Amino acid sequence: MTNKESPIGLSRNQMAERAARDIPDGAYVNLGIGMPEMIAQHIPRGREIILHTENGLLGMGPSPEPGKGDSELINAGKRQVTALAGASYFNHADSFAMIRGGHLDLCVLGALEVASNGDLANWSTGDEDAIPAVGGAMDLVSGIRAVYVMTSHCTRSGEPKLVESCTYPLTGIGVVNRIYTDLAIIEVTDEGFKLVELSPGISFDAVVERTAAPLVDGRTETEDE
């Protein structure tokens, strides 16, 4: 039931692995619930990344071994996690001071839509019948200096998620810096979407065709142009 034959891009794990490669050693990072969480499994060897979860833990580790979990040691998705050596616990105001005060280096979030000016919609489909729930999404995008999005390039029905202007309710205005999809890595610039990397086997035209806003090919651009 797809509108267009979808090209074979990266798997979810490959996307997580690719995004993880761009997270620098020593970074304090918040990973959104869902696909961005998978990045934690792919941090390159030799790098130390401190994961923040907004319910009050810095130094979040992987899921506990079966039977060893603690219902009072959970992440923002309310799943049981572990605390690594050097971890700290803190209250919610301190946790969001880290976010809102600009102390975290990076967050990676999922998206319903990203607009070419960096607007992000990821908290509500605006459905009349839906229960509105925002969590910490609006705080993350307004407070953290680098906001990356990790998402499939199109919806399940083949609609582009990268658009000129969001149709869903906004999470933040002009907040997204970079987008990792199954097909490409795209930066949000003053000139709109700029392609910086294609996934293996994916053509520029294939990405253009599935992006509902102009796309500049940043791979051939020189600084002085």
Q: Could you give the residue numbers annotated as active site?
A: 54
Q: The tokens of 171 are what?
A: 């999470």
Of the two residues 45 and 78, which places its CB atom closer to other proteins in the complex?
Answer: 78
Strand order in the sheet with 215-217: 82-89, 57-61, 50-53, 28-31, 106-109, 146-150, 178-180, 184-189, 192-198, 215-217
> Smaller CB distance to other proteins: residue 142 or 177?
142
Q: Give CA 184 to chain center in angstroms.
A: 14
Q: Determine the Cα–Cα distance for residues 133 and 23; give it in Å rounded to an integer.
A: 29
Applying CB under 8 A, which residues contact other proteins? 53-57, 70-74, 78, 83, 89-93, 95-96, 99-100, 124, 129, 131-139, 142-143, 169-173
To other proteins, the closest distance from the beta carbon of 224 in angstroms equals 30
Question: Least Å distance between CB 122 and other proteins?
Answer: 11
129 or 224, CB closer to other proteins?
129
* Torsion 120-153-157-131 (CA) sign: negative
Question: Which H or E element spans position 150?
Answer: strand 146-150
In whole angstroms, the minimum distance from the beta carbon of 98 to other proteins comes to 10
